[in-house]
Structure 1
Amino acid sequence: MKKILRITGKILLLLVIVLVFLIGGIFIYNKIMLVSEEALIEKPIGQYVEVDGHKMNIYTEGEGKHTLLFLSGSGTAAPVLDFKSLYSLLSSDYRIVVIEKFGYGFSDVVDSERSFETILRQDREALTKAGIEGPYILCPHSMSGIEAIMWAQNYPDEVEAIVGLDMALPRAYDNWDWDSTIKKERLAAFARELGIVRFFYSDSQLPEKLTDKEKKIYRALAASKAVNTCIINEGLAIPDAVTEIDRKPKPDIPMLMFVSDGHETGVENWIEIQIDYISDLTNAEVIELDCGHYVHNFRQDIIAEKLVEFIEEDSEEEVEMILQIDGKEIPVTWEDNASVDALSELAANGLEIQMSMYGGFEQVGSIGSSIARDDKQTTTSAGDIVLYSGNQIVVFYGSNSWAYTKLGKINLSEDELTELLGNGDVTLTLSR
């Protein structure tokens, strides 16, 4: 019996020694690879902007009337590359924007609180600094569904629609095991430090549409940043974000929800939660895809097709009113309200308005009659078009706070607006 125990002990000791050498070898190999991969990830795929003293990466591609803003799920190592399978099918018709939040992709890892209010503020600031103006069609994956809903609740003028890519909804977290999740994430972070995580990002596990070089970049970013402190801290912030969302009305905006089979989400009634959420919305649809959680890498073709149909159908219902300033046609996104409908009726036969500079931040002119109004205290920004007192149209190239009815937004930069409106009185023409 003792002999058997001695043999067993030696075998176990040998196994421990082999395991230690194996882990040590993986650790050393990973360190060597991290050094060799530095050149791969030295420059971002996108552009850096400074937010709160740190670098955040913003990627843009394509042009179009609508801006599709992609927001990644928790722990996605390289969002710019992860969404490529889908957005490459859309960039010929739309402006594509991918935000890499702190802790993701090429953006810095920051050791600070990651409340969703902070995440949303930082994302909006990054877009502003990159010169990317709304409104946006938010395309959130997984956990970013929470940020998208909060965005639509707090800044409705900035959100044209939400296209959910198997996005998480508040009720998905009602019975979530947070203690287990945090333990798993910390274990994964330890595995990254050891170098083990690298082997979970083999070519076969990465989006197949990526080039060999892009797969190497993806793997390098994952090996250096996967499951870092930003990702762990934002996970801890989800319950407070859900509580905040539940305090406010559900945003009734156009929504198209692409949903997986739910098996990889850890939520038993994942599909039912999605269907229930849209049940009382005016313009919303759920499309079940019967695939894994990263729907944009499994069913990108059908998603692109249905997304285009969704956008174009919604666009057909938009007001078609042309704005010219001193004979130059200006790109505008009009609001969907009674005031714009009434203004559009006046524009049917052509409406010419003599504008006057006022206050160094706006041009104002009478529309010749009073129309429906729904004034609200508003702090305007450059490009805003508003109705004042029911009978005057105001176009801003600066900012002011007053009670206005929002009419639309000119899609030009602040510098372009200042050049257009800040050098003397102009003539504004509306037509259909």
Structure 2
Amino acid sequence: MMKKMLIFILKSIGVIAIAIGLFLAIVFIVNIISNKSEEGKIEPYGQLVPVDGKNMNVTIQGKGEETVVLLPGYGTAAPALDYKPLVEELSPFYKVVVIEPFGYGLSDVTEKERSIENIVSETHEALQSLHINRYILMAHSISGIYGLDYVNKYENEVSAFVGIDSSVPTQGGTDDVFPTETYKLLKKSGFFRLLMKLSPDQLVTPTIDDETREQIRILSLKNMFNPNILSEGENFNHNFKAAQNLTFPSNLPVIFFLQANDTETEGWIPLHEEQVKDSVHGKVMTFEGGHYLHHTRSKEIVENFRGFMEGIK
């Protein structure tokens, strides 16, 4: 009786092990096949500009006299598509340039570390390649950190800074160990694709047509956890620390549009008020909404920004 029971248990364990192995193999193979087929479905947009021997993708819309340069938040798969509602509101009044950093959107992946120094100099080189020498910098999330460094390095080129729920060097929580190996495994095994399939609401997009949403989905699967995104995550601590002693030039107009109820970061609004306290033209505005305010509040952002700039003139 015991022997039969033992054989049954061992057989059951064997069947379960085979089933798990088969499941893992299917997830892995489906991911490889899907990656290959989706490569051909990516629809090009924007234009490629030479930066440090690679190609960086940018989009340019609108014919205004002043130029607005948009910088994305961390891990935004396709910045030009993510910023669509904001570009539509800005482009009647400004020339609007969306930068897709290396590893983002349709830009190349670079071997260079994603340090604040490299990211900022590459962004500047892209604008130099386009002969854009005077502009307003508009930054979402972590680009608030890069933007702060940027306006100090290229003060004569930036005419105003706009932060859209932008990061602050002193916000804390950036010294956690970044789980690079876990993310690599998720991507390589195909489990990231499976998670996206099981939980489609992980895909954060503005209200857009189905075709654009599908493009964002494909580019999310292609770009998420690529070497540049991982390197940027590993550099969080360095990048935030590098910006800690920086302040916005006092004569630079600075306006922040923040979510009113940030539950993740303690003192979110006071941290930004501190950033503009010495600015001759500094303002903090809050809106109801999530971290991606430009998905839902683009109209109000542009109206209030234009009003802010008019008030300075």
TM-score normalized with structure 1 length = 0.64
Q: CA deviation at 1:144?
A: 0.7
Residue equivalent to 1:111: 111
Residue equivalent to 1:341: none
Residue equivalent to 1:219: 217
Residue equivalent to 1:400: none
Distance 1:19 1:103, change over 3 A: same
Residue equivalent to 1:281: 279
Contact 2:59–2:97 (Cα < 8 Å) also in 1 = yes
Residue equivalent to 1:46: 46
Distance 1:15 1:96, change over 3 A: farther
Residue equivalent to 2:161: 162
Q: How does 1:358-369 map to 2 (within 5 A)?
A: none
What are the superposed Cα offsets for residues 190-245 of structure 1, whole Å, 9 maximum, x if unpaired? 22222333353837834243222212221111111212221222233344444443
Residue equivalent to 1:74: 74
Match of 2:187 among 184, 187, 192: 192
Aligned residues: 306
Distance 1:241 1:11, change over 3 A: same
Alpha-carbon distance in structure 1 between the residues aligned to 2:171 and 2:218: 32
Contact 1:206–1:215 (Cα < 8 Å) also in 2 = no
Residue equivalent to 1:93: 93
Alpha-carbon distance in structure 1 between the residues aligned to 2:19 and 2:297: 42
Alpha-carbon distance in structure 1 between the residues aligned to 2:91 and 2:158: 19
Contact 1:259–1:289 (Cα < 8 Å) also in 2 = yes
> Residue 302 of structure 2 aligns to which amino acid in structure 1?
A
Structure 1 segments unaligned to the other structure (5+ residues): 318-432
What are the superposed Cα offsets for residues 325-383 of structure 1, whole Å, 9 maximum, x if unpaired? xxxxxxxxxxxxxxxxxxxxxxxxxxxxxxxxxxxxxxxxxxxxxxxxxxxxxxxxxxx
What is the DSSP-based 3-state SS (H/G/I as helix, E as strand, rest coil) of the residue aligned with 1:80?
A: helix
Residue equivalent to 1:272: 270
> Residue 48 of structure 1 aligns to which amino acid in structure 2?
L
What is the DSSP-based 3-state SS (H/G/I as helix, E as strand, rest coil) of the residue aligned with 1:107?
A: coil
Q: CA deviation at 1:13?
A: 6.0
Alpha-carbon distance in structure 1 between the residues aligned to 2:63 and 2:181: 40
What is the DSSP-based 3-state SS (H/G/I as helix, E as strand, rest coil) of the residue aligned with 1:257?
A: strand
Q: CA deviation at 1:124?
A: 1.1
Alpha-carbon distance in structure 1 between the residues aligned to 2:282 and 2:133: 21
Distance 1:289 1:17, change over 3 A: farther
What are the superposed Cα offsets for residues 136-156 of structure 1, whole Å, 9 maximum, x if unpaired? 211111111111111111111
Residue equivalent to 1:305: 303
Alpha-carbon distance in structure 1 between the residues aligned to 2:54 and 2:279: 39
Q: How does 1:16-415 map to 2 (within 5 A)?
A: 17-41=18-42, 44-131=44-131, 133-173=132-172, 175-179=173-177, 182-183=178-179, 185-198=180-193, 199-200=195-196, 202=200, 205-252=203-250, 253-260=252-259, 261-263=261-263, 266-314=264-312, 317=313
Structure 2 segments unaligned to the other structure (5+ residues): none
What fraction of aligned residue pairs are identical, expressed as a percent? 33
> Residue 196 of structure 2 aligns to which amino acid in structure 1?
F
Contact 2:46–2:58 (Cα < 8 Å) also in 1 = yes
> Residue 200 of structure 1 aligns to which amino acid in structure 2?
M
Distance 1:118 1:204, change over 3 A: closer
What is the DSSP-based 3-state SS (H/G/I as helix, E as strand, rest coil) of the residue aligned with 2:113?
A: coil
Distance 1:119 1:205, change over 3 A: closer
What is the DSSP-based 3-state SS (H/G/I as helix, E as strand, rest coil) of the residue aligned with 2:248?
A: coil
Contact 1:58–1:130 (Cα < 8 Å) also in 2 = no
The farther-off stretch of 68-77 and 291-300 is 291-300
Alpha-carbon distance in structure 2 between the residues aligned to 1:30 and 1:192: 9
Q: CA deviation at 1:70?
A: 0.7
Alpha-carbon distance in structure 2 between the residues aligned to 1:197 and 1:241: 27
Alpha-carbon distance in structure 1 between the residues aligned to 2:74 and 2:17: 34
Alpha-carbon distance in structure 1 between the residues aligned to 2:7 and 2:267: 52
Q: Which has the higher contact order (CA 8 A, sep 6+)?
A: 2
Q: CA deviation at 1:270?
A: 2.4
